[in-house]
Amino acid sequence: MSPSISWQSLPTEMKLAVVDALDLDDVKTLSQVDRHTYQICVPATFKDVILSNYQALENFLENVPRAYLRYIQKLDLCTQNTSIETVSLRVTADAVTSLLIACPRLEQLALRMAGSLDKSVITGFAYLPVLKKLTITNCADEIEQPLSERLVVSIAASIPGLEDLSLDRVSRSKMHAPELEGVYPYVPLVSGDDDIPDHPVLGSELCLPSLLRLPTLRKLIIRDTHLGDDRWATTRVACRLEVLDLGSCYHENEDFNRVCTERIMAAVGPTVDEFSLTTAVSDSKFAKPSDTPLHRLRKLHITPFFPVDSVVDTMSNLAGSPIESLSMQCYEDDVVDMCSAIEEFLNIRVERGPEFYNKLTRIDVSVAANDPSMNLEDSEERIEAAKRLQEFCRDLQLASAVGKAPSPACNPRSSNPTCDDEKRPEFGF
């Protein structure tokens, strides 16, 4: 009989391997074995951190040994003040900076701000050498507490290796959009942000289109943000975007959002492999392989907010790209109409011959939300529409799937869904 091996006798490397294989709850339990084991569990405990408000941030900085912060690789940070006591923007910015400069291994950061912070917060982002993914969201009322595009662009430009940037509900600056002030539809604007210092490369041009001058950027998501800046068409593009996801501005109408989307598509199209659409595309220049700027577009996603009656025309207008995969999200009320629209598009594909969407191999439709009032008759109609579409796809030798979205708990409007956060530690103390 072989002798038993105790936990204490294992080499440190093997103990670390065991800890890495455990989920967070098990790590917390294991850390209580003894002091040595607790120290071994520290990197796993602080690898992935959520701080849900300013008070949690303050308590975290006061109670967690600063040496432990170097283990943070993924951080979800909200700066919203939930106390009745007022906290100045400078104090909040200082707390954020204090945390960031102690996190040299941070790779992913989701930053939810209640409007803009003091400009001093920009300094901390230069100390994040391995940060690749950044999400910035305004979690406050945009009218009362707008989040400045100048602050956001300066932050993004300060990160040396940023590749993946998601922005949600960022507001235009009066400095860059004076033509919007006092004009219908009264888009919220930020004033008083002209004191944000010039960037070494971007200078004073800290408008949203200047994001295209960040050479390391590969993925850009912008949602619920006004994209009407003409400089999207004239800014020198220094990045090679592979993934582009553009939402619409709810302050503007559909035609305005369409023009904005087409302008940005034309600017960055040559390198984009994957694109997510919220608005229709009507410009015919995207329809011809010789004219379209989207020479490499292979994956097209259509969001639940896309107008269903524009699906066929938009697909026809994107025929110049080598699209291989088409995924459509819709609400349950739109399932029948969406399936019918796709069938109409596929009929056009058959009629126009083998050169029209000749690279297409897959079409998927997913339902983004449940309708609790749906009756049995409606359900049967949707099931029949989905079945008919899949049979048509099968006849055309196209792979297809029609069903529920992967995680109904996710908010499809959010650029930072929290459906995978159940096992992440929230430090509130």
Model confidence over 144-180: pLDDT tens digits?
999 999 999 999 999 999 999 999 999 999 999 999 9
Q: Which residues are paired to 327 by β-bridges? A: 301, 364
Instruction: Give me the phi and psi of 234, to 5 degrees please.
Output: -115, -15
Confidence check: pLDDT of 302 > 60? yes
Higher pLDDT, 204 or 7: 204
- Closest by CA to 273, choosing from 245, 296, 293, 300, is 296
Please report, rounded to a whole number, the percentage of residues in the chain having pLDDT higher than 90: 75
pLDDT of residue 258: 94
Contacts of 150 (CB under 8 A, 6+ apart): 173, 175, 176, 190, 193, 194, 196, 206, 207
Higher pLDDT, 76 or 18: 76
Count of C-beta atoms within a 10 Å radius of residue 209: 23
pLDDT of residue 30: 76
Q: Which of the listed ranges 28-32, 188-192, 369-373, 406-410 does the model predict with the highest average pLDDT?
A: 188-192
Contact 341, 311 (CB under 8 A): yes
Higher pLDDT, 412 or 161: 161
Contact 163, 217 (CB under 8 A): yes
- Distance, CA of 346 to CA of 42 (rounded, Å): 55
- Distance, CA of 312 to CA of 300 (rounded, Å): 14
Confidence check: pLDDT of 410 > 60? no
Cα-only R_g, the chain: 25
Render pLDDT for 127-143 as a digit per residue (tens, 0 to 9).
999 999 999 999 999 99
Render pLDDT for 240-254 as a digit per residue (tens, 0 to 9).
999 999 999 999 999
Q: Is 183 exposed, middle or buried (0-12, 13-18, 19+ CB in 10 A)?
A: exposed
The CA–CA distances, whole Å, from 371 to 44, 337, 341, 386, 395 equal 40, 16, 21, 17, 31
Contact 136, 76 (CB under 8 A): no
Confidence check: pLDDT of 415 > 70? no
Residue 422 — very low, low, confident or very high, per pLDDT cuts 50/70/90? very low
* Mean pLDDT, residues 402-410: 61
pLDDT of residue 32: 79
In 257-342, the DSSP E strands lie at 274-277, 299-302, 325-330
- Distance, CA of 218 to CA of 272 (rounded, Å): 9
pLDDT of residue 416: 41
Higher pLDDT, 378 or 80: 80
- Measured at the CA of 354, the angle between CA 350 and CA 355, to 5 degrees, comes to 120
Confidence check: pLDDT of 21 > 70? yes
Confidence check: pLDDT of 427 > 70? no
Residue 73 — very low, low, confident or very high, per pLDDT cuts 50/70/90? very high
How many CA atoms lie within 13 Å of 222's alpha carbon, on the beta-carbon side?
24
- Distance, CA of 161 to CA of 212 (rounded, Å): 14
Give long-range contacts, CB 8 A cutoff, 24+ apart: 41-47. Answer: 42/68, 42/71, 43/16, 43/19, 43/71, 44/19, 44/20, 45/71, 45/425, 46/71, 46/72, 46/425, 47/71, 47/72, 47/73, 47/74
Q: Could you tell me the pTM of the whole model?
A: 0.89
Residue 408 — very low, low, confident or very high, per pLDDT cuts 50/70/90? very low
| Strands 172-173 and 243-246, sheet pairing | unpaired
- Distance, CA of 389 to CA of 382 (rounded, Å): 11
Average pLDDT, the chain: 89
Give me 279's structure tokens. 């608005």
* Mean pLDDT, residues 89-107: 97
Contact 221, 165 (CB under 8 A): yes
pLDDT of residue 371: 58
Give me 109's structure tokens. 């950061």
- Distance, CA of 325 to CA of 305 (rounded, Å): 19
Render pLDDT for 207-256 as a digit per residue (tens, 0 to 9).
999 999 999 999 999 999 999 999 999 999 999 999 999 999 999 999 99
Confidence check: pLDDT of 266 > 90? yes
- Distance, CA of 325 to CA of 360 (rounded, Å): 6
Contact 107, 132 (CB under 8 A): yes
* Mean pLDDT, residues 257-273: 94
